[in-house]
Amino acid sequence: MSRIGKKPVELPKGVSASLSGQTIEVKGPKGTRTFGATDDVTITIEDNVVTVTPRGMSKRARSQWGMTRNQIENLVTGVTTGFKKELEIQGVGYRAAMAGNILKLSLGYSHDVNFEVPDGVTVTAPKQTEIVVEGIDQQVVGQVAANIREWRKPEPYKGKGIRYKGEFVFRKEGKKK
């Protein structure tokens, strides 16, 4: 039995959900998100509570049960509060700045890196060494943050690069004479 799947998803005030077939659509103050569930689960909406139940007890149905419930909870979280990833830049001369819809990164290359921000995501640089990625879709926010981080991952000797806020970078000792 899925412990996660058993829990119902409550819809807060200002959030509405509608069901058409196996597709659930959640509307909230930040926008609208949809999710298409597989035929292995049944979704019901009653009194601002969304419940998910499996159809049968096959291994696939039980695994889809918890995953579907979690996806619906992520839809509700996205349209109410949204998702946020914070990145830190460490290194001498490394900095970030926003210019319209383009994030300009100076990361020690011979040229500046221009990262175009995709639709549905807002990127801000409150300081030269901080980047904040926000949006209503958790997967897109995480992917954009990972793409930005990919330009200069933190290296283990000096710790220079782009890292997630609070990320621990294992430091290595350099060569000795």
29 φ/ψ sector (left φ>0, alpha ψ -120 to 50, else beta): alpha
Confidence category of residue 1, pLDDT binned at 50, 70, 90: low
Percent of all residues in the chain with a pLDDT value above 90, rounded to a whole number: 92
The answer to whether domain 3-80 and domain 83-164 are alike in fold is yes
Token readout for 147 is 């793409």
pLDDT at 177: 80
What CATH code would you report for 83-164? Answer: 3.90.930.12
Q: Which CATH architecture has domain 3-80?
A: Alpha-Beta Complex (3.90)
pLDDT digits 0-9 by tens, 92-104: 999 999 999 999 9
Query: Quick one: which of 37, 18, 38, 39 has its CA closest to 27?
Result: 18
**Domain ranges (residues) in the chain:** 3-80, 83-164
CA–CA distance, 131 with 16 (Å, rounded to integer): 32
Cα–Cα distance measured from residue 133 to residue 118, given in angstroms and rounded to the nearest whole number: 11
Q: What is the pLDDT of residue 3?
A: 85
* Tens-place pLDDT, residues 8-58: 999 999 999 999 999 999 999 999 999 999 999 999 999 999 999 999 989
Statement: the pTM of the whole predicted model exceeds 0.75: yes
pLDDT digits (tens, 9 = 90+) for 100-122: 999 999 999 999 999 999 999 99
Percent of the chain beyond pLDDT 70?
A: 99
